[in-house]
Amino acid sequence: MKRITYLTCTLIVACMVAAMVGWSMAAGNFLIPVIAIPLGIIVIIACQAQVDIVIADERENRIRGRAALRTLEVVAIGGAIAAIILYSYIVSIPLTPIITGKLVITDDGRQSMTIAEYQPGSVPGPDTLVRSTTINDLSSMNESEAIAYSSYIREGFKENENRGLAGMTIGGCLAAMLAIFGAFYLYYDRKY
Amino acid sequence: MKNRIKVLRAERDMTQEQLAELVGVTRNTIISMEKNKYSPSLKLAYRIAHLFGVGIDDVFTYEEEIDGPSGDDE
């Protein structure tokens, strides 16, 4: 078995074991991981035993090392840019939607409120209106109207919050990756 | 880093594949070295010199220039 075949087998086995463990956790069956994980390890060890002896070619190792370093640099820089851009949707005012509320007192004394959402960074107007809702009588606002009102405000920011969350996830992954790199760097620094 | 691997190999009627096998690298590494695109490690350089039965200076010549992938100054 060639090394690439072995790596492919390892990846497939790891994916299958992860899928089984995930499914069993969701289903509440804790016996499957107990069987699947050792079985996966056995299969990987069996595959490893079949791998041909690979010549440790120094040029190839050096190329891989350099390619890995370049990849790390590109991912770190690109990831940092993406994380900051996405996170800015939460903290940057021009990127957040504009939500306005207009209170109108009708002739019969009712307080009617219209809430409108406009495109981020735009001047509120009919062209930039995303959506609006009206609560006919504020004093007799029922529970469902109150829920609709709060969810309306919430949903206005939801898209930005999702982007911000994606940004924070990318940032977290990036930090973890750099921490792992640092750990390996220290390890090899001590070794050599 | 310049080298005389191709000449020494030709003198001994040795193929790139054979040399690669004897020194424990791939043929691509031999090709890259012969084209002066890759400077080997000291260990590999000694192994090659030892295989040809000559001194390391007879195989490799150091010249001040920008090296290839192994020059660490890409």
**Does residue B71 form part of some domain?**
no
The minimal CB distance from B26 to the residues A57, A62, A66 is found for A57
| pLDDT at residue number A187 | 94
Tokens in use for A85? Answer: 């851009």
Are A159 and A151 in contact, with CB atoms under 8 Å apart?
Answer: no
pTM (whole model) above 0.95: no
Of the candidates A65, A62, A60, A4, which has an alpha carbon nearest to the alpha carbon of residue B26?
Answer: A60
Beta-carbon separation of A66 and B28 below 8 A? no
Q: What is the spatial order of strands in the sheet that A129-135 belongs to?
A: A98-105, A111-118, A129-135
Number of domains chain B contains: 1
Interfacial B residues in 34-53 facing A (CB < 8 Å):
38, 40-41, 43-44
Beta-carbon separation of A59 and B74 below 8 A? no
The complex's ipTM works out to 0.76
**Does residue B74 form part of some domain?**
no
Q: Does B71 touch chain A (CB under 8 A)?
A: no
Q: Read off the pLDDT of each residue in B33-55 and give the average, rounded to a whole number.
A: 93
Q: B40 contacts in A (CB within 8 Å)?
A: 58-59
Closest residue of B to A53, CA-based?
A: B24
Report residue B73's pLDDT band, with 50, 70 and 90 as the boundaries. Answer: very low
Q: Choosing among B5, B16, B29, which should be mutated to test the A contact, i.e. which has the most A CBs within 10 A?
A: B29
**Does residue B39 form part of some domain?**
yes
| pLDDT at residue number B71 | 47
Task: For tokens 């054979």, name the residue.
Answer: B18
Beta-carbon separation of B25 and A57 below 8 A? yes
pLDDT at B17 > cutoff 90: yes
Question: What CATH number does residue B51 fall under?
Answer: 1.10.260.40
Tally C-beta pairs within 8 A across A and B: 31
Report residue B42's pLDDT band, with 50, 70 and 90 as the boundaries. Answer: very high
* B60-61/A129-135 β-pairing: unpaired
Residue A29 burial (10 A CB sphere; 0-12, 13-18, 19+): exposed
**Does residue B7 form part of some domain?**
yes
Report residue B74's pLDDT band, with 50, 70 and 90 as the boundaries. Answer: very low
Q: Read off the pLDDT of each residue in B9-17 and give the average, rounded to a whole number.
A: 94
Beta-carbon separation of B40 and A60 below 8 A? no
Closest residue of B to A70, CA-based?
A: B74
Structural domain boundaries, residue B15: 2-61
Q: A66 contacts in B (CB within 8 Å)?
A: 69, 74
Are B9 and B21 in contact, with CB atoms under 8 Å apart?
Answer: no
| pLDDT at residue number A72 | 94
Q: B24 contacts in A (CB within 8 Å)?
A: 55-56
**Does residue B8 form part of some domain?**
yes
**Does residue B49 form part of some domain?**
yes
Min CA distance, B41 vs chain A (Å)?
Answer: 8
Q: Read off the pLDDT of each residue in B33-46 and give the average, rounded to a whole number.
A: 92
3-state secondary structure of A102: strand
Residue A73 CB coordination number (10 Å): 10
Residue-averaged pLDDT of chain B: 86
Ranges of chain A whose pLDDT falls below 70: 53-56
**Does residue B67 form part of some domain?**
no
Min CA distance, A38 vs chain B (Å)?
Answer: 36
Min CA distance, A120 vs chain B (Å)?
Answer: 46
Half-sphere exposure of B39 (CA within 13 A, CB side): 18
Give, as one character, the DSSP assignment of residue A140: G
Distance CA B2, CA B10 (A): 17
